Amino acid sequence: MRVLISGSTGLIGRRLLEELVRNGDLVTRLVRAETSTPGAKISWDPVTGEIDASKLEGFDAVVHLAGESIADGRWTGAKKQRIRDSRIVGTRHLSERLAALKSPPQVLVSSSAIGFYGDRGDTRVDESATPGSGFLPDVCRDWEDATQPASASGIRVVLVRTGIVLDGNGGALGKMKLPFSLGVGGRLGDGKQYMSWISLDDIVGTYLHALATPSLSGPLNGVAPEPVTNAEFTRALGRALHRPTLFPVPQFAAGLLLGEMADALLFASQRVTPSRLISSGYRFRHPTLDAALAAALAQ
Statement: residue 37 has pLDDT above 80:
no
Statement: residue 73 has pLDDT above 90:
no
Enclosing domain of residue 20:
2-163+199-223+273-279
Predicted model pTM: 0.95
Please give the mean pLDDT across all residues of the chain. 94
Please, which pLDDT band fits residue 254 given cuts at 50, 70 and 90? Answer: confident
Kindly state whether residue 174 falls inside one of the protein's structural domains.
Answer: no
Kindly state whether residue 293 falls inside one of the protein's structural domains.
Answer: no
Kindly state whether residue 92 falls inside one of the protein's structural domains.
Answer: yes
- Residue 9 belongs to a domain with what CATH number? 3.40.50.720
Kindly state whether residue 155 falls inside one of the protein's structural domains.
Answer: yes
Kindly state whether residue 175 falls inside one of the protein's structural domains.
Answer: no
Q: Where are the alpha helices (DSSP H) in 90-181?
A: 90-99, 135-145, 148-152, 171-181
**What's the pLDDT tens digit per position in 134-189?**
999 999 999 999 999 999 999 999 999 999 999 999 899 998 999 999 999 999 99
Residue range 95-105: average pLDDT? 96
**The total number of structural domains that make up the chain:** 1
Kindly state whether residue 192 falls inside one of the protein's structural domains.
Answer: no
What integer pLDDT is reported at residue 32 of this predicted model?
A: 87
What integer pLDDT is reported at residue 71 of this predicted model?
A: 85
DSSP string, 35-70: ---SSSEEEB-TTT--B-GGGGTT-SEEEE-----S
Residue range 58-86: average pLDDT? 93
What integer pLDDT is reported at residue 181 of this predicted model?
A: 94
Kindly state whether residue 245 falls inside one of the protein's structural domains.
Answer: no
**DSSP bridge partners of 63:** 5, 109
Q: How many CB atoms lie within 10 A of CB 10?
A: 17
Kindly state whether residue 78 falls inside one of the protein's structural domains.
Answer: yes
